[in-house]
A and B are shown apart, each in its own frame.
Chain A
Amino acid sequence: MDPNALILARLQFAFTISFHIIFPAFSIGLSAYVATLLVLWRRTGKDHFHRLARFWTKIFAVSFAMGVVSGIPLSYEFGTNWARFSEVTGNVIGPLIGYEVLTAFFLEATFLGVMLFGWQRVAPWLHVTAAILVALGTAISGFWILSANSWMHTPDGYVLHDGIAYPVEWSRVIFNPSFPYRFAHMMTAAYLTTSVVVLAAGARYLIRGEFETEGRTMMRMGIGMLAILGPLQLLLGDQHGLNTLQYQPAKIAAIEAHWDDDGPADLVLFALPDELAEKNRVAITVPHLGSLILTHSWDGRFAGLKDFPRDQRPPVTSIFFAFRVMVAIGVTLIAIGLVGVVLWWRKKLFTTKWYLHIVARAWWLGFVAILAGWLTTESGRQPYIAYGILRTDQALSPVSSATIATSLTLFVLVYCVVFSIGIYYIHRLIWNGPKGEAVRPTALPEGLPNRPLSVADKPTRESRGQDPYSLGQSSHEPEQSPSSGGSKPSGAGPSSGSGPFGTGPSEQEPRS
């Protein structure tokens, strides 16, 4: 096999999946957040929940679109670059991915249409249900894909005939040993990541002195999530580590830069692992702490890297550092959550400037932690693509390195351009904030046939004096220029551009 092809194919997969995971990780949390906001709004009738739901729905739509289009290439990459992997493991993990499509992708993609466009078209309960189904779809999707991924780490419930894996017991394939831990760890990470973004956005509005009701709600909800999920994630990560030690001891040895199993293990806080010399240069260590963490006993022992032949060891340096980045961020998030709770308790949360400024800049932490965590676990599986079954260098397609290099270049170019712009747009939407929404029912364009207006209009006739299910043409850009009149309802009066909550035209809008 062409060694260049191997390196290029690995780079391509690492690149495409790293770009991809950012968006689903955000969408999983955000869809649940939007569904929660919609439920709260339906139950309390408070306007700011409605404005927040609409605001985050727009951001969710942009993020979700990027998740979809960056995800489709992955389902084909197994074949284009990793055909041998598909042959060897297709019987076992293929159906798991198939179930993801059947039970999750269609659910979220179809009801996304209702969630985005159904504000006016369907009954309120149905719209909320659609949002919940989208959130459920993203979680089910996580269930299957993490099951498939976990099987590659800790394969179970299969037999090998002529090098091909065949399923024996599906319950053991799906609930393979590392799956419950990985699933819990990743879903919590996704919800944490979104919580930090929501928290950071809320803090920004409070610093700017705008959208204060919404900003406070965002901060309270974000801190609540952080305070609960942060410590929970620490516990889950610990349990996941113990599971990894049991099934993939070489990965743990690399994470800990633990070369020799010659007594109770130190915890290596920082080191420069030297893979050729098989030792750490400049190490800062804490005696016995490594044993305590990984075996939960003071004198526990676990395998060192030298217990594995060189060709069975994962790369040490990248795993060692990626893991530390993840843990450092995790600890930071716990600290942010706990400090936030204390400030909240002392009723200083919204006035403590230094805290607001720190959390306003913290939005990216979850994303980096997720990428670092995945780098740790996936590199830690090397040199195998399916642990103990198929080595990565045996899994390639019969394609030339030139083909892979060309496609890799194109992926890098397209992704960097398209997704950078997308992230910029999300940033701009957040900057603009949850602006005024409401369009009066009378402002609706005429001639929308077959719409269950009788259902959708009813609550709007109530005392609120506005239409909570408005189509939201004006919400997008109340300050739109005359040339973009296309997003204005044809039957709308001139005042419909900004409702009771309209913020007026041309306001601190950083146009591209």
Chain B
Amino acid sequence: MTPTDLTGAAYWFPVICAAIIGLAVAMYVVLDGFDLGVGILFPYFPEEVQRDQTMNSVAAFWDGNETWLVLGGTGLLVAFPFAYAVIMPALYVPLVLMLLALVFRGVAFEFRWVAKPFHRKWDIAFAAGSTVATFCQGLMLGGLLSGIQVDGNHFGGGAFDWFNPFSLMCGIGLVIGYAFLGACWLIMKTAEGVEQIARRLARPLCVAFLIFIAIVSLWTPLEFDRIAARWFSVPNMYYLAPIPLITVALAISCWRGIGGKHPSLAFSSAVGLFVVAFIGLVISTMLYLVPPTITLWQAAASPKAQGFILAGMVVMVPIILGYTVFVYRTFRGKIRPGEGYH
């Protein structure tokens, strides 16, 4: 699968670009994951004060978080235009639904405050928008893993090819996963009633998310031979053995964090779980951009285009990460009832 006739930039640029886009997607999943999760859990907070508090706990961050989604999308367009031109039409329906759902929950951050005291509709928009957007992201993940039909250089399938039991399961699993991440975020960032509710929600969500990880880990190798070959062949098996072990360790530390005193243990462990799960998926599909046909190198833009954007990424991504850290540090600590700018 690895091309033998490519050297230098033509070989390495696609690999580096893919790594950076992978980083962008991982950043997106973790960062927007918790703020979508907070939206999914919104209905579980009955009082208006509590909802204000949960929303304010992510309000300073959501916009930056969602920008990683734009970087993922444009990164794919820039570095791998052929993969972009195949994946987007293939995942058209869940993608458009996700974008529309993001409209509702995105504007709710501002509209809800302006609308007060008639803000109930934006409570609903925030919760429903977050849930639908997450579910659609799961559908897209499932659809991509299931494989996309390619004719020549173009998408050759139908509008609903992505729809199957596996993608549905991924949709539900991701809703659970983000809700879990959101609950752990709230444990870290809020106090009093909201924190109590978040702690109660986090345990069952943690269990459900681990079950989801287990199902994907068993289902994908059984359904897709290429994934079974990747994980269960010698010597890969020995190299990859730590991954399930790390997952178990993180799950235990998260479980302790949910009940314990340390405010950020549960959240950091949950992030760890997501990162490990993401790495697992990357290992399953590695070097394919459109499984099971198009590899990194087949989909790559010209080295000149990739080189230009790589130069920008190498300079800008550390700067972006730097000021992202700065903003999270600025707004660290727990949000009390009534804190916000509105």
Contact = CB atoms under 8 A, between A and B. Distances in A.
Interface of A: 58, 61-62, 64-66, 68-73, 75-76, 78-80, 83-84, 86-87, 90-92, 94-95, 97-103, 105-107, 109-114, 116-119, 121-122, 166-168, 170, 397-400, 402-403, 407, 410-411, 414-415, 418, 421-422, 425, 428-429, 445-451, 471-473, 476-477, 480-481, 483-490, 492, 511-512
B280 interface: no
Nearest to B320: A106
Contacts of B111: 62, 65, 421-422, 425
A65 B87 contact: no
Contact of A414 (B74, B89, B103, B317): B103
B158 to A, nearest CB: 8
B156 A398 contact: yes
Interface of B: 47-49, 51-53, 59-61, 63-64, 66-67, 69-71, 73-79, 81-82, 84-89, 92-93, 95-97, 99-100, 102-104, 106-107, 109-111, 113-118, 153-156, 159, 191, 301-302, 304-305, 308-309, 312-313, 316-317, 320, 323-324, 327, 330-334, 336-342
Contact of B81 (A91, A422, A483): A91
B182 to A, nearest CB: 18
Contacts of B302: 91, 166-167
Given A112-B63, A480-B116, A487-B52, A87 B85 contact: yes
A49 to B, nearest CB: 18
Given A98-B77, A448-B339, A486-B53, 19 more contacts: A61-B110, A71-B70, A80-B88, A83-B89, A92-B305, A94-B79, A95-B305, A97-B77, A98-B312, A106-B320, A112-B63, A119-B341, A170-B308, A400-B159, A418-B103, A445-B337, A485-B48, A486-B51, A487-B340
A94 B81 contact: yes
Contacts of A415: 103
Nearest to B48: A486
A14 to B, nearest CB: 17
B330 to A, nearest CB: 6
A451 B10 CA distance: 49
A102 B333 contact: no
Contacts of B74: 75, 94, 97-98, 100-101
A94 B306 CA distance: 10
Contacts of A511: 118
B337 A90 contact: no
A403 B93 contact: yes
A109 B341 contact: no
* Most chain A CB within a 10 A radius of its CB, from B96, B154, B313, B331: B96
B330 A122 contact: yes
B95 A485 contact: no
B317 A102 contact: yes
A471 B281 CA distance: 43
Contacts of A400: 159
Contact of A109 (B49, B64, B304): B64
Contacts of A114: 60, 327, 330
Contacts of A428: 114
B114 A62 contact: yes
Contact of A91 (B52, B96, B305): B305
* Most chain A CB within a 10 A radius of its CB, from B47, B73, B114, B340: B114
Contacts of B109: 65
A84 B53 CA distance: 46
Nearest to B96: A407
Nearest to B85: A83
Kindly list the 5 A-B residue pairs having the minimum CB-CB distance in the complex, ordered from nearest: A79-B88, A90-B81, A113-B60, A94-B78, A486-B52
B327 A113 contact: yes
Majority secondary structure, B binding face: helix
Given A72-B102, A476-B342, A480-B116, A95 B308 contact: yes
Given A117-B59, A167-B308, A486-B51, A86 B81 contact: yes
B101 to A, nearest CB: 9
Given A68-B66, A76-B88, A414-B103, A481 B338 contact: no
B308 A471 contact: no
B208 to A, nearest CB: 29
Contact of A105 (B48, B70, B341): B70
A75 B102 CA distance: 14
Given A80-B88, A448-B333, A473 B118 contact: no
A414 B104 CA distance: 8
Contacts of A448: 333, 336, 339
A379 to B, nearest CB: 25
Contacts of B313: 98, 102
A418 B342 contact: no
A68 B106 contact: yes
Given A83-B155, A425-B111, A486 B308 contact: no
Contacts of B47: 486
Contacts of A487: 52, 113, 116, 338, 340, 342
Contacts of B81: 86-87, 90-91, 94
A407 to B, nearest CB: 5
A70 to B, nearest CB: 7
A414 B109 CA distance: 17
A73 B155 CA distance: 20
29 contacts: A65-B109, A66-B107, A68-B106, A72-B69, A79-B77, A79-B85, A80-B92, A80-B96, A87-B81, A90-B305, A94-B81, A95-B309, A100-B74, A109-B63, A110-B327, A112-B63, A114-B330, A410-B97, A418-B103, A418-B104, A421-B111, A445-B337, A449-B334, A472-B342, A480-B116, A486-B337, A487-B52, A487-B340, A512-B118
